[in-house]
Amino acid sequence: MLFLKKDTIPDAKQLIGLWSVHGNPAERTIDIRDANLVISMATNQYYITLKEIKRVKNKVYYGFEKMNGPESQDYDSPAYQNDETVCIVELVNRDVLKLSWLGLYDKGLKERFETENPFDQYKKIVLLKRCVDDHR
């Protein structure tokens, strides 16, 4: 297993792909496409799209962009449209990401919500594996 240097900024192409806890596309996933990250919160119910805010050393910071799906209407508010970091992704190696979850941010109330990590409610940081049948 090849690990990246701690200060290496990951190339966008290294991050592109489908990622999940066990590398299985049938479970909850994130799909990284260029500067966007899409989390399948409840399949065919709603998806969170995050946009890249910045890159610092070996980490990519993502903020809220939008939610899609029938159950997403509760999040259709200008208060959520801000550049606060929702999660931080760090490329550990070619096939493993470290996802640090902070939660969504309401700029009107000046507080975070949805702070439980969507991949493990008991951990703020999880490791995600590249899905095995992802051929990007």
**Which secondary structure element, helix H or strand E, spans residue 13, and what is its range?**
helix 12-15
Domain regions of the chain by residue span: 12-130
pLDDT tens-digit map of 89-106: 999 998 999 999 999 898
φ and ψ at residue 126, rounded to 5 degrees: -130, 155
Would you place residue 72 in the very low, low, confident or very high pLDDT band (cuts 50, 70, 90)? low
Q: What is the mean pLDDT of residues 13-17?
A: 87
Q: What is the DSSP letter of 5?
A: P
Q: What class, spelled out in words, does domain 12-130 have in CATH?
A: mainly beta
Residue type (1 letter), 21: V
**Amino acid identity at 72:** S
Produce one character per residue of 3-31: b if its CB has 16 or more CB atoms within 10 Å, e if not: ebeeeeebeeeebebbbbeebeeeebbbb
More confident residue, 46 or 136: 46
Model confidence at 53, pLDDT cuts 50, 70, 90, reads very high
User: How many whole angstroms separate alpha carbon 86 and alpha carbon 101?
Assistant: 6
pLDDT of 71 strictly over 80? no
